[in-house]
Each structure stands twice: as C-alpha cells, then as structure tokens.
Homo-oligomer: A and B are copies of this chain.
C-alpha cells in the first residue's frame, strides 16, 4: 500500500523533530508542527504504527522505524532536489521555493527523482545549505556551528540557515548574506548581544541575536 500525502508529511516532521539522536517525539509537538489538534495526531499515530512506520506506545511518544526513516528520507531527498531545480533552473529566489517543494516532494516516481538528480548534476546541498540524501538513503548532517558560538575576530563561512521563513531569507538578502560568503565577527554588543559583522571583507553591519541564532557557519 502507498503512503498518503498526509502520512508522508507526518513522517518527515517526526524525522525533523527527533533530531539526529532519534529522540522520542511528543504528540503535542506533532500537533504544533502539523497545525492539527493532539487528538488528530493520536489517530494518525495509530495508523502509522499499524503500517510499521513508527514505534508507538500510548503516552510514550514516537520514533521512526527503519522503514519509516527510509520513507522520511526519501521525501526529504525529493524536497531538496526540487528546491535546487526551482532555484538553479527556474530562477526562483531561495525564499520562494519552500511551499512549492512541499507539494512536489509527494510526486511518487523513483525514476523521476533519479533523472532529476542527474539533470541537476547530483547536488550535495539544497539552496538553504541543507544536505541532500543520496539515492540509497544516506543522509549526513555536516556539523556546522551557529554564529552565536563564534568568537570575536574569527572568520567563518556562511553554510546554512536554521529558519527557512521567507521573511528571514529576504532579510539576509538585503544584508548581502548569501550561502558561502565570508563573515568576520568584529564585536559583540553587551547590551543586546547583537554582533558587528564584516561581510566579504566589505561592509560591516549589526546582526541581531535573533539572526545570529539562525545562521550556520564553518570555521576556515
């Protein structure tokens, strides 16, 4: 039996919320992320458990089974490949692609995904810096740091974002902060923890703590 659109969304969200350690995910957290009520989540969990896609015992939270993990990673692979397509081939901005990819990720042909992957040149990362699982389902999260963990004086390379909201991405565009650019922390303001950051050895500007918390970077 095929998994529905809705089931795939649940699996993807369970994957995201359980993090790399595969922690248990709570009913309420899922209700929040799926924009449904806890009672509806319970219904769906029973169904997913019956299909062998999650481990579920009442009141104990859920984890993906191997088979559920496989489905989730495949959906993530499709989501991220389609985002690359939209940005690289169709010229969309990185702030415009999430909702469209949210639909495209449920198109079911394996043949399609593999051809799309070739057409795009087997990209390793999506337009937000997130890694793209390979055809076998291997997904390795690179361990970047968050900008708030960088010391004054350090030069880092911008590698990804934690928040994918269009408004955040547009804010970065206006500041000239793009994937791969160089950032150097000049100073950190005691009062509000905002940072003065030099971008690409050019202009220096203030970055709020809110923004710093959502920027993934790499030492260099």
Contact = CB atoms under 8 A, between A and B. Distances in A.
Interface of A: 86, 89-92, 96, 99-100, 103-104, 107-109, 111-112, 115-116, 119
A115 B103 contact: no
A123 B124 CA distance: 31
Contacts of A115: 90-92
Nearest to A96: B111
Contact of A112 (B100, B107, B119): B100
Contacts of A86: 112
Copies held by the complex: 2
Contact of A119 (B90, B99, B103, B108): B90
Contact of A90 (B91, B96, B112): B112
A110 to B, nearest CB: 11
A99 B109 CA distance: 9
Contact of A89 (B96, B108, B119): B119
Of all A-B residue pairs in the complex, the 10 with the closest CB atoms, nearest first, are A90-B115, A103-B107, A100-B109, A90-B119, A100-B112, A89-B119, A104-B107, A91-B115, A90-B116, A92-B115
A90 B112 CA distance: 8
A100 B107 contact: yes
